[in-house]
Amino acid sequence: MHEERMKLLFDQLPLIGRFAIIFALLVFLPRVAERCRLPGVIGLVVGGIVLGPDLLGLLNPKSEVVELFSELGKLLLMFYAGREIDLNSFRAVGWRAVIYGLMTCLIPLGAGFLIGQMFGYSVNASILIGSLLASHTLLGLPILKQFNLTAIPSVAITVTATVMTDIISMLVLAVCVTVHQTGFSAGHLERSLLALAIYIPLVVFGISWIVRRLFEWFKLSNEARLAIKLLMVAVAAFAAEEIELEGIVGAFLTGIAVRRAIPEESEHEPLYAVSHALFIPMFFISVGLLVNTRVLWHALRFDFLLVAAIVLGLVVAKFLAAYSFGQAVRFKSAERGLMWSLSLPQVAATLAATVVGVNTVNAAGVHLIDERILNAVVVLVVASAILGPLGTRYFARQLAGPDTAGAIDQTAAGPGDGKSSADGKSDRF
């Protein structure tokens, strides 16, 4: 019945009708959330849940339009996260980013391993469960743009640490899958590490060289510049997947490479506008579309202890990593809180790794992880996707000060002039 209603309301509409619905959602959902004093990102995620196939059935998560836009949005979110990284400035925070990346990855990984052991999973499955908690998705980054906080050291460290957590998580996933199917292979691990050692400098310096030369040799139009950047993101993401990493790693590194090649580029360029008006918001909606409320209720009702352990394990482990690191480098309490809230959301890499784990079967027909973990991860995604942005906004307001926060609140509550940041730039997403 849901499938029939979904096709009736969305798939059978003309293509222009589908676009009209999507654009209307992108405009109104963040404004509704901001009227309720919530981050606009939460409005998009909750809107995806309500409008998805399990409730109103207005949007189909398997629609080609939705899948294409959300995949591009995920890649472009990480591209612009990398675009914020200045390699010259990175030298000042590089070692701190490495240390924090290891802490915010390994502490949750250890917590997840212990949870897996407590609930009777094998050592290999427990390690994979730990890796599901290790990575994070930067859902709160658009909120920091509103408060002009993307360049402060605590944010730069957390953004850079995201790459480390995703790389380590994907390597752990690859090893766990191989061990479950064929046993441990040192050769496979060595090949993965060698590919990674070649891939990172090749993307950062190779793409940087290509982009710089293309922009120097040719007088490119705005359309051509947009196409070149999208091409570089796509190529780097494809190459990352070929060496068993998430495409978001390649997108992030491409952002660093483009910043290195053209550091003076304006935020008003066409790709930035299209990304933040369409593709990135569509990714947040797609996160909500992935949530099955019946599965959510089943997990809360019949596997409450497992769900609670995984959610609390993530929250506590990420807090310990951010708090202990922040104290060691003498960050203010609000900065430590910001690092914690930024590292909470578990969306892209976590969902991808969970699905791979559930679908991995050995010769005896045993799955690497079962549907209980999948259900618990669904709850984790919803909880972290809401708690993370809420925390990010709370701590960002403290760091920005009352004047900036007040200006943003007035803009969000105003008659709708299309601006959402204190400096007047259109940066709602």
pTM over 0.85: no
Q: What is the pLDDT of residue 341?
A: 94
In this predicted structure, what is the pLDDT of residue 421?
Answer: 37
Domains of the chain: 2-413 (1.20.1530.20)
Residue 360 sits at φ, ψ, to 5 deg, of -85, 120
Q: How many CA atoms lie within 13 A of 75 on its CB side?
A: 24
For residues 246 and 379, give the distance between their C-alpha atoms in angstroms, rounded to a whole number.
22
Q: In angstroms, rounded to a whole number, what is the distance separating the alpha carbons of residues 350 and 363?
A: 25
For 235-368, list the strands marked E by DSSP.
none
* CA dist., res. 271 & res. 252, Å (int): 15
State the pLDDT at residue 422: 35
Residue 425, pLDDT score: 40
**Residue 420, pLDDT score:** 39
For 19-31, how does the pLDDT look when each residue is reduced to its tens digit (9 = 90+)? Answer: 787 788 888 888 8
How confident is the model at residue 11, as a pLDDT? 60
Distances in Å between the alpha carbon of 29 and those of 223, 298, 314, 354? 29, 28, 28, 29
DSSP characters over 245-270: --HHHHHHHHHHHHHHH-TT--TTSH
Is the CB of residue 257 less than 8 Å from the CB of residue 209?
no
What contacts 24+ positions apart, CB below 8 Å, involve 107-112? 107/317, 107/318, 107/320, 107/321, 108/133, 108/134, 108/313, 108/314, 108/317, 108/318, 108/321, 109/133, 109/134, 109/168, 109/172, 110/317, 111/313, 111/314, 111/316, 111/317, 112/310, 112/313, 112/314, 112/317
Alpha carbon of residue 171 to chain centroid: 18
Q: What residue ranges of the chain have pLDDT lower than 70?
A: 1-13, 18, 39, 84-92, 246, 264-268, 348-349, 352, 402-429
- Determine the pLDDT at residue 333: 93
| Residues 264-293 pLDDT 10s | 665 567 788 888 888 888 888 887 787 777
